Amino acid sequence: IGLTGSDDRLWKMWGFPEGNILLTGEGHTDWLSGCCFRPSGTQLVTSSGDTTVRIWDLSRHGCILTLRGHARAVRGCCWHSCGDFVASASADGTSKIWDVNSERCRYTLRGHEDSVNSIEFLPFSNTVVTSSADKTLSLWDVRTVSRL
């Protein structure tokens, strides 16, 4: 199974090897920059130029949560390995750690001088790595919201 998002504002789940579309999700109002399966495989997260991050439930075939708080396009997103947290990177120069259970932003990571273009949790840890248009990479401890 593959997952894609694109400028058409849709995400698509593909079956392989046939390449058939299994599911399509619509709801974002601008291009999609990222999409990622929850570790349990029952949900996915998407990020978009519309400044939002969305959580989708595959069994319900729809968006179950829209996370708002970035001031500019969201460039990337990922799940923590426990499946309870989502991280997002934005052109507004910040990254956010979202608590999916409480449906709120837990932490905002500030320190890059330009757009944050990607974010990823290191496996089974509380560390996230970000890359920015300011030509830097940063490692963050999300428990203390500080650079390592």
Is-contact 43 58, C-beta < 8 A?
yes
CA separation for the pair 98, 85 (Å, rounded): 5
Provide the pLDDT for residue 1: 86
- pTM attached to this predicted model: 0.93
Residue 48's pLDDT band (cuts 50, 70, 90): very high
Is-contact 59 42, C-beta < 8 A?
yes
Give the mean model confidence (pLDDT) for residues 54-75: 95
The closest alpha carbon to 117, from 78, 67, 66, 65, belongs to 78
- Percent residues over pLDDT 90 in the chain: 87
| Residue labelled with tokens 């090897």 | 17
CA separation for the pair 109, 1 (Å, rounded): 32
Structure tokens given for 143: 């428990």
Tell whether the model's pLDDT for residue 129 goes beyond 90. Answer: yes
Tell whether the model's pLDDT for residue 146 goes beyond 80. Answer: no
CATH 2.40.30.110 correct for 2-147: no
Residue 145's pLDDT band (cuts 50, 70, 90): confident
Tell whether the model's pLDDT for residue 60 goes beyond 90. Answer: no
Q: Which tens digits make up the pLDDT trace of 6-41?
A: 999 999 999 999 999 999 999 999 999 999 999 988
Structure tokens given for 120: 């990823």
